[in-house]
Chains A and B, each alone.
Chain A
Amino acid sequence: MTTAERPRLAVVGAGPAGLAGALAAAARGVQVTLVDAADQPGGQFYRQPAPGLGARRPQALHHQWRTFERLRDGLERHRAAGLITHLADHHVWCVEREPGSGALSVHALRGPAQEQGVTVRADAVLLATGGYERVLPFPGWTLPGVVTAGGAQAMLKGGLALPGRTAVVAGTGPLLLPVATGLAAAGVRVAALVESADPAALLPRARALAARPGKLAEGAGYAARLLRYGVRVLPRHTVLEAHGTDRLEAVTLASLGRNGRTRPGSARRIACDTLAVGHGMLPHTDLAGTLGCTLSGTDVRVDDEQRTDVPGVWAAGETTGVGGAALALAEGHIAGRSVAARLGGTAPDPRRWAAAARARARQRAFFAALDAVYAPPAAWADAVPDDTVVCRCEEVTAGAVRTAAGPLGASDPRAVKLLTRAGMGWCQGRVCAPAVAALTGCPLVPERRPFARPVPLGVLAALPEPPPG
């Protein structure tokens, strides 16, 4: 087959899911274009610098690192063979499907300044855009020194997590463990790991589930290391407030009662200059939403082959539900094989990917169990004072949201946004949507974001006409 004859797949996202999908498809004769916003392949998980990993990564993760090296080498080989084109530093703002022909166009912005328009055409698209961190507001959360858990990871990468600093890691979810260990390993004094859930509740479930999830061992490894670094782990605790004038100086913590409210009299203050917070991850679903893919809750819905309900569009990894790197790899692999078969005009044989399907089932079950345990305190939204800013871009307070939702009749988050501008700013509500939904008393429903990235009007005006047919 020549390049011109091969079916074309565009993969959006070069994390574990996108890489696995690109390799599986390319190995089966598909011409792949891998479009990714980052300058290096690897996504969230593998983005950490190799030297840092070599020196400091927990033992349990070396296995994952080797997996990444295999993927990276595979990518190199296919690139050299002309089967995969890797477009790094390309930010996809929209994927368009022509209703008639079904042809797909991936529209991206090139370069760190994201000013130049690039369009990639394909017969199929694999959405592997991963997820992003959810951070819920509390008084003081906008102070310099308060970062997301992922942001703390980035500080480590940039060498900004200076030894001698004092950090508190807080929120909920399994991500807090590696972040706390990473900071401690880099020489930061981690004063506490504040987890609003009670991970002890996980143990019975996990044991019931797990033949051998590496995850548990991983978790145990982190716990041991935290102990070694002298990190105090405070389950069923929450950060009430971050203090400081120009930057963070201290946080107030409190313990949580069974009803999800803070126990009276349990508040205490801890001095720190860094607070890393995270309340779990949310999938990136903008591109899928604009294509018209059905979501279930906040996740892109896929079938056993990782197909969405829009013809020609597959999805894999955290965009279909948050579940860690191993799950992303399994899903990506299955998606790539399915694409190759379907574009070749045949139905795939799922027995060929039985091992990946088993891994997928195991990891999904494991993360479903995690999800049931790791959750923000039930009543967290009630605890946000009126004067706390909820939408940072537009500086909208919790009080303004409550007024809109109450006396002004904005009974859903969209109406609240119209009346308050919460979610209309640069981040388009990615940060504040969970808080606005909770303050309005509504479930979190992903918003329509036709542009996954802000697009210069000049790029819009210069869009190519869709090809005829």
Chain B
Amino acid sequence: MVGAACALYAARAGLDVRVVDRGAVAGGTTGAGEGNLLVSDKEPGPELELALLSARLWSELAEELGAAIEYESKGGLVVAAAPDALAALRDFAAGQRSAGVTAVPVGSGELREMEPHLASGMAGGVHYPQDAQVMPALAAAHLLHACGAPVHTGWTVTGVVRAADGAVRGVRTDRGDIHAPAVVNAAGTWGGDLASLAGVRLPVLPRRGFVLVTEPLPRMVRHKVYAADYVADVASDSATLRASPVVEGTAAGPVLIGATRERVGFDRSLSLAAVRALAAGAIGLFPFLERVRALRTYAGFRPYLPDHLPAIGPDPRVPGLFHACGHEGAGIGLAPGTGQSIARALTGKAPELNLTPFRPERFDTDTDTGTGTGTDTDTDTDGGDTP
């Protein structure tokens, strides 16, 4: 997704673009996640700014591609079961409002008007009309198609070609070299490997998530609904399983429930503990789901950096190398803002956004080896997907 957005904005900035992927379009994490475009889960800070910029760009893209990418500006609804959770949620929302987020408090009575099948007895919630959704694989494919750049699927990058002065000259692939004065690393969870091909360190790590997909249903869930403890979950840095699922209906009918967060490397094997937690959480929000069947479940590996912020922008260590990876659980939502920022950097224009917090070389100074055991920063940078 991120590569597709970079390609689109770069091509529209007048650059000659080529896209290389060792798999198929959307064959990476983009095809194994969900398409929540959330501002609701982000606290004020650089990620929220990127999310707000991206939300605006997504709605522009939707005017062009809307139906094809299944864009829906359905809004998010965060609910709190108990009064103290509600108080925390309302505080959180107040902070977001001051950063430009539309966040409307919802009383416990109104909740059921907005979501008729929601469990009774919820204390209240907050409505986020800016939250939206796309179908990620369709979005990646149609953005690539719209940009008109040649797409080389099935080509693996095996090296970064550099001149004597160290500047990038292109990439080496298993099907031959591609020459270019600039290379954008949008390799997601594998972005660290690509960086090391250019001789630099970027500690991107995988964080596994499972999603449950139900049988198709008539529309029973209208918004993206999740419980307020989610907001607490995403900021945590524990390696164990967490789940406080976002429940949402899709254009095609199935309800998506996702996702868990575990740091277990690239282990794809089914975890029944994970799907049990998702199912239990979803039934807690929508009791009718108890009898609804899950048709499938799948796992993906979010690309995360130790401080939970993506790497976006030029790499001062290798002239001509740009990074656009490490978006963790929000790479779909944050893709257009990332793509636009990269295109501006490539063409020497000032970005709309301050990219300093996303500097790719920022991990050179810290002692954290990227195992994720360091202390978490204040910035909650996860978001977009369900915890």
A412, B141: Cβ atoms closer than 8 Å:
no
- List chain A residues, Cβ under 8 A from B275: 460
Q: Which residues from 211 to 235 on chain B have a C-beta closer than 8 Å to any C-beta of chain A?
A: 212-216
Given contacts A450-B296, A451-B294, A451-B297, is CB(A457)–CB(B282) below 8 Å? Answer: yes
Query: Using a Cβ–Cβ cut-off of 8 Å, how many residues does chain B contribute to the interface with A?
Result: 44
Specify which of B153, B273, B283, B295 is in contact with A458 (CB 8 Å cutoff). B283
Q: Are A458 and B24 in contact (CB under 8 A)?
A: no
> Quick one: given A290-B270, A461-B276, are A415 and B26 in contact (CB under 8 Å)?
yes
Most B CB contacts (10 A, CB to CB) among A407, A418, A426 go to A418
Determine if A266 is an interface residue (Cβ-Cβ < 8 Å).
no
Does A418 contact B31, Cβ atoms closer than 8 Å? yes
Contact A456 B293 (CB under 8 A): yes
A444-469 residues with Cβ-Cβ distance < 8 A to B are: 448-451, 454-458, 460-461, 463, 466
B198 within 8 A of A: no
Interface of chain A residues 402 through 456 with chain B (CB within 8 A):
404, 407-412, 414-415, 418-419, 421, 424-426, 428, 448-451, 454-456
Q: Is A292 an interface residue (CB 8 A)?
A: yes
- Say how far A467's CB is from chain B's closest CB, in angstroms: 13
Among A414, A428, A454, A460, contact of B279 (Cβ-Cβ < 8 Å): A460
Chain A residues near B298 (CB-CB < 8 A): 448, 450
| One of B27, B142, B282 near A415 (C-beta < 8 A) | B27
Verify if B350 is at the interface (C-beta below 8 Å from A).
no
CB pair A454 B270 closer than 8 Å: no
Complex interface: chain A residues within 8 A of B278 (CB): 460
Chain B window 25-38, contacts with chain A (Cβ cutoff 8 Å), 1 for yes, 0 for no: 11100010000000
Closest to B292 in A: A457
B154 within 8 A of A: yes
Interface 1/0 per residue, B126-161 and A, CB below 8 Å: 000000000001100110110000010110000000
B252 neighbours in A (Cβ, 8 Å): 394, 421, 424
Task: Write out the residue numbers on chain B whose beta carbons fall within 8 Å of the beta carbon of A411.
Answer: 23-25, 153-154
Q: Given the complex, which residues of A lie within 8 Å of B270, measured CB to CB? A: 94, 96, 290, 450
Q: How far is the CB of A392 from chain B (nearest CB, A)?
A: 14
Which of B20-69 touch A at CB < 8 Å?
23-27, 31
- Given the interface pairs A418-B31, A421-B252, the reply to whether A412 lies near B289 with Cβ below 8 Å is no
A404–B153 CA distance with the chains assembled, in angstroms: 13
Residues of A near B376 (CB, < 8 A) are none
Q: How far is the CA of A415 from the CA of B292 in the complex (A)?
A: 27
**B25 near A415 (CB under 8 angstroms)?**
yes
| Distance from A463 Cβ to chain B, minimum over Cβ atoms (Å) | 5
Chain B CB within 8 A of A218 CB: no
Q: Determine the residue in chain B with the shortest Cβ distance to A115.
A: B291
B280 at the interface (CB under 8 A from A): yes
Contact of A460 among B138, B154, B213, B294 (CB under 8 A): B294
Query: Do B24 and A409 touch (CB < 8 A)?
Result: yes
B364 within 8 A of A: no
Q: How far is the CA of A457 from the CA of B137 in the complex (A)?
A: 26
B141 touches A408 (CB 8 A): yes
Closest 7 CB pairs of A and B: A418-B137, A415-B24, A458-B290, A460-B279, A409-B25, A454-B293, A461-B280
